[in-house]
Amino acid sequence: MLSHALRAATCGVALVCALAPTAAHAAKPKPAAKLSVSRVGKPPASAETGSTFKLTARVANAKGRKAAAGRLTLSLRPAKGSKTNLKGYAVKSLKSGKARSLSLSITVPATLKAGTYSLVACVRRTGSPSSTCKTAGRIKISVKPAPVPPAPPAPQPPAPTPAPVSADTAKRVITAAGLRRHLDALQEIATFNGGNRASGLAGYGATQAYVVSTLRAAGYTPQVQPFDFLFFRTLATPVMEQTLPTPRSFVEYTDFAQFDYSGSGDVTAAVRAIDINTTPPRASTSGCEAGDFAALQPGEIALVQRGTCDFAVKIANAEDAGAAGAIVFNQGDSADPERTDLFAGTLGVAVGIPSVSVSYAEGVALQGATVHLDTSTRTEERSTSNIIAETPGGDPGKVVLVGSHLDSVPEGPGINDNGTGSAFNLELAVQLAKLGAPANKVRFAWWGAEEEGLIGSTEYVNQLSDAAFANIAMNLNFDMLGSPNHAKLVYDGDFSDSTPPASAPDVNPGSAEIEKAFVDYFAAQGLATEPTAFDGRSDYQAFQDNGTPAGGLFSGAEELKSAAQATKWGGLPNVAFDVNYHGAGDTIDNIDWTAFEQLSQGAAYVTGRYAARTLANAGGGAARAVTAKQRSARAVVKSDWRGSKVQR
């Protein structure tokens, strides 16, 4: 060490140097840190091998220096023999005089022998060769008994065999609750889609999605078959007025009706009668030939009489001759109100002039008058679809086809027409999927664009090959099953109460057997029925036109219930079977639920009957009157009806 003088000389005059301490003044070193277990919780008095218990331990640094990190270890020590080390725990560094508590989870080794052990906790500072220990307490260890193997599971009974499809099982699975579930869904769809489920509009798309998803959930593989059709919509309330000789306003649906597919226009012109016949029996070809319009002056309104040819032909001829509008009046060839009163008509094709219908009496009175017509409409091509699903099992050469149209009119939600038929069809499909395979394949069809003129079902039949068409044993059609002032009507397959339609002069006699099956079922239930004509107003027509047996049920539409029918079925006489037909009131609040359930169960019974029967030929034994090969060559005579409206 340098002396003070030497240090001063070395540091220089201007430099102040700190004097190094002498040995006498050197600081004493701090004692080494020492970790210890200052406290440890008491273990349980006893424990089983494999069990876990918890306790706490406190580690302290009692010396002067900061203790580096350390490790706490636990062990179980018998009175004699080797110890068994347990889990270790890291201890973070501790300043002098500090302590830290640790939460310990201790698992007794499963291999430990029974006996009394001391639980010892030891802590060692990192780098130190020695540990300090503390005994927590004594614990009696017992060996956990070996688990008793579980008893083998009891043998499961074989899965029950599904009940076979039969008339009785098909009827039994149709319940009011199941039917209501689907009608609730259809009502909700209409409510959130402009109040309707019409083809070409959003409500139909949502309805289709509901049916498809329900079928898939039931295990079917539904097919959606798209097709195009002419979409027609009235944009404003049509106007008809007589301006000469006596001014008069006509009331829509009371005095006149606009044709579906009428053109738009606002015209006031003289009325020109075209080859009309008011002398009984009033046979008429008025407007059926272009030459009938020779006297028409361009810009006049043509007045033509119903009869012989389609309305579309009459009005197209009028338009070609230069008419600015067309009025078709009823023929008056009989006392039948259908031939004298106002009628709702359809053209099926677009025309370019305002076109309306009136009664026979109104038409006769309009000769020589001047009339104002104002119509605003839209006709355009849109796309819609059918939905087809069928049972996986059953004879594919004896198909029982159950059909119902899925669309409503644009004016209402269509819950009776035809939500009821569609809901029944869907519930039957869902329930038959739970039964055994039928003897004959059951095919379910939901038709689109029925309200535009039976377009979906007609498209379906037209696109079938001869072989595929020949495999259809029958068509069962269900259109309106819950009319509020209902009837129980069975399609007149034997034509005992009606005239065979002109479109099907050779209707298969199997239709008579189908009618009898329905009549016999309801008679056995103590429920009266009446026949209703195959008049071409629903989707059976395309099948019937081609010789396929057809049948089905109907609860009535706009026709009035007679006093005798009110006695038979209850309800109100001289009131329509469904006063809400094709209107905004056709909602779920206006369904006769008892009638709906009864008719649906009858429909299911007969469907199940034919699904389970051995069918030698279509209709359960009756030979086809028209074979598949003949159907492509025969000249089909059109029905007066095109869906719910007349076309001729």
Count of beta carbons in the 10 Å neighbourhood of residue 342: 19
Angle at 46 between CA 111 and CA 136, to 5 degrees: 95
> What is the 8-class DSSP label of residue 290?
G
DSSP letter for each residue of 549-575 = -EEEEE---SSBPPHHHHHHH-S-TTS
Q: What ranges in 464-592 are assigned the alpha helix state H?
A: 466-470, 510-524, 541-545, 563-569
Report the alpha-carbon distance of residue 535 to residue 647 in Å, rounded. Answer: 12
450 is catalytic: yes
**Beta carbons of 428 and 469 less than 8 angstroms apart:** no
Q: What is the CA radius of gyration of the chain?
A: 46
Tell whether omega for the bond before 245 is within 30 degrees of 0, i.e. cis: yes
Angle at 516 between CA 514 and CA 518, to 5 degrees: 75
Give backbone dihedrals phi and psi of 172, rounded to 5 degrees, phi first. -65, -30
> What is the 8-class DSSP label of residue 28?
P
Report the alpha-carbon distance of residue 496 to residue 523 in Å, rounded. Answer: 18
DSSP letter for each residue of 400-424 = EEEEEE----TTS--IIIIIIHHHH
Alpha-carbon separation of residue 378 from 221, 264, 356, 431 (angstroms): 36, 8, 15, 42
Angle between helices 421-432 and 176-191 (to 10 degrees): 130
Closest residue by Cα to residue 521 from 512, 529, 532: 529
Give backbone dihedrals phi and psi of 582, rounded to 5 degrees, phi first. 60, 35
Closest residue by Cα to residue 75 from 123, 8, 18: 123
Alpha-carbon separation of residue 238 from 169, 353, 356 (angstroms): 52, 13, 9
Report the alpha-carbon distance of residue 445 to residue 538 in Å, rounded. Answer: 13
Residue in the block written with tokens 């001014």:
247
- List, as own/partner pairs, every contact residues 561-570 make where C-beta atoms lie below 8 angstroms and the sequence separation is at least 24, other chains included: 561/485, 561/487, 565/487, 565/530, 568/528, 568/530, 569/486, 569/487, 569/488, 569/528
Residue in the block written with tokens 């409409």:
377
Report the alpha-carbon distance of residue 370 to residue 539 in Å, rounded. Answer: 41
Catalytic residue among 300, 362, 450, 597: 450
Instruction: Say how many residues make up the chain.
Output: 648
Give backbone dihedrals phi and psi of 154, rounded to 5 degrees, phi first. -65, 140
Catalytic residues: 450
